[in-house]
Structure 1
């Protein structure tokens, strides 16, 4: 009887803790139209792709013979590239988008978030914009999509720019609380209707080389776009469908010019992965930024764009 009372008491404590957590962090979903005013300012457009209204930006000269397409990382959006786009668009056509399950594009109707689906999604956008061949660039998840495209659709890829991603490796020096929650069945279901702000901040602090550079707008953007209808369930679905990507042996099949960029202080994917990626892709170039973290394009756009411009000009 005493054991039963102890068990019931423990269960009661857990239920009470879950209730407190839910009340303190309750964050209802927001319709996409409510978010557009702040996060879909010009030149944002929405393109019908695979049953979704894909959030896309297409900037720069339309006569660019080799447009650039950038894809964001997990939990991010096309806004991650705004500074790079601003520094490139005078001379280059640059296309960015929110991948399925993220940003204003929102969830995929069939809840499929495999890498082949991501590649097909990006190619469908390029087709809609009449772009046959492009420079593919991405950060983290987006780098993995770019590598997959180079292997499965080499005729569509002119060059690769891989930023802190693209090597089939999970895990880093830190383990943000948000990832721990996503990995825990049952607990992750709480995220459908809650969104602890500290979880967003924890993930960013793990990603940036200098957390003091994180702005309130960075946090607001991640927080509000995650509230977009369906995004939290999509993040849970996508996390459960994670793929390691091409094996290191297949990376040797990549024949296009490739730039590998990495922040040495990346707390999510260790810099050792950059050296492995560079060694696996024939003729690739490697640039390491000693003071930056997982998202160099956001943390120091002015200090990192030079390597990109030089690579594009070659």
Structure 2
């Protein structure tokens, strides 16, 4: 028994030693907005004081377009995810993208509390401040979930809905992203508050894109910088620990013209979920992009934009 306890002591000592070594080697402090602005803010970027945050957004295209297209990014992403696709969108459209609270250069809200109701309230305030009474709204992944939830909370403010590999239904039997798996693992996920190596970001991106060849150093650096922007790691950890309520039953109440775009090889949210949206939203249209992963607007920006333009 004494030897057994000694072995247990050695084991936990080794684990503690390993954690300390990882902490020393990979510890990274948060990056401030002042550090990140020169890298990720361009002449089309704007900042809006709103709900205790300084919200980063881009308002591009035709300013006379009375019903703009509002685009919402997914978890751990930013408005940059739509930049490649935006170049192919109808030039007569006004296109607005925004770093959502907890992500990008907007960062966390004051209470570090997040829900679909909160995100809907945020978007309502954001659009009101831009004097936009109605819009077309599209989103990818979590952003897709936020978009359709907004359409249920504020149906009079949405004309058309675009869901790109959106959340909404239970997800099963997918390979997923390494970063998301760690963030979802109790106890271990707390390490991510201090240790977020670029290698982890790269491995996570390989679970998101079907073609790993499109992953480059600039992209890895951007995702890494956004991940360690001040307060974002704590916000993400809160989201994964508490979870955002999934309410698939509400999807059947959506009565807006809806376009469903999905990557056939999505490793995070299976393509079968596209059919569930198509089934539950009456009159919706569905398009599956072959050999494309979780972010079609990055992997196939021209094809994705073409579908949106036609819709």
| TM-score interval (norm. to shorter) | over 0.9
How many angstroms does 1:171 deviate by?
Answer: 4.2
How many angstroms does 1:15 deviate by?
Answer: 0.7
Corresponding residue number in structure 1 for 2:262: 262
- Write the distance in 2 (CA, Å) between the matches of 1:189 and 1:245: 24
Corresponding residue number in structure 1 for 2:99: 98
How many angstroms does 1:172 deviate by?
Answer: 4.8
Corresponding residue number in structure 1 for 2:297: 297
How many angstroms does 1:244 deviate by?
Answer: 4.4
TM-score (norm 2): 0.96
Would you say the 8 A contact 2:116–2:245 is kept in 1?
no
Corresponding residue number in structure 1 for 2:198: 197
How many angstroms does 1:223 deviate by?
Answer: 0.3
How many angstroms does 1:31 deviate by?
Answer: 0.8
Matched position secondary structure for 1:161: strand
Matched position secondary structure for 2:19: helix
- Write the distance in 2 (CA, Å) between the matches of 1:259 and 1:282: 11
TM-score (norm 1): 0.95
How many angstroms does 1:168 deviate by?
Answer: 2.1
Runs of 4+ in structure 1 displaced over 4 angstroms? none
Moved more, 72-81 or 204-213: 204-213
1:26-59 deviation digits (Å, cap 9, x = unpaired): 2211111110001111211110111011111111
Corresponding residue number in structure 1 for 2:28: 27
- Write the distance in 2 (CA, Å) between the matches of 1:241 and 1:216: 32
Matched position secondary structure for 2:226: helix
How many angstroms does 1:184 deviate by?
Answer: 2.3
Aligned CA RMSD, in angstroms, stands at 1.3
Matched position secondary structure for 2:81: helix
Corresponding residue number in structure 2 for 1:279: 279
- Write the distance in 1 (CA, Å) between the matches of 2:90 and 2:81: 15
Identify if the C-alpha distance between structure 1 residues 100 and 171 changes in structure 2 by more than 3 Å, giving closer, same or farther.
Answer: farther
Corresponding residue number in structure 2 for 1:206: 207
Structure 2 matches for 1:98-247, cutoff 5 A?
98-247=99-248
Matched position secondary structure for 1:138: strand
1:229-254 deviation digits (Å, cap 9, x = unpaired): 11100000111232343324x32221
2:100 corresponds to 1:77: no
Would you say the 8 A contact 1:167–1:274 is kept in 2?
no
- Write the distance in 2 (CA, Å) between the matches of 1:76 and 1:18: 28
1:69-109 deviation digits (Å, cap 9, x = unpaired): 00000110000011222222621101111111100001111
Would you say the 8 A contact 1:72–1:99 is kept in 2?
yes
Matched position secondary structure for 1:88: coil
Q: What is the count of residue pairs matched by the alignment?
A: 310
Unaligned runs of 5+ residues in structure 2 are none
How many angstroms does 1:186 deviate by?
Answer: 2.3
Moved more, 201-210 or 287-296: 201-210
Corresponding residue number in structure 2 for 1:50: 51
Would you say the 8 A contact 2:115–2:245 is kept in 1?
no
Matched position secondary structure for 1:291: coil
- Write the distance in 1 (CA, Å) between the matches of 2:302 and 2:251: 30
Corresponding residue number in structure 1 for 2:19: 18
How many angstroms does 1:285 deviate by?
Answer: 0.3
Moved more, 10-19 or 20-29: 20-29
Identify if the C-alpha distance between structure 1 residues 172 and 202 changes in structure 2 by more than 3 Å, giving closer, same or farther.
Answer: farther
2:308 corresponds to 1:308: yes
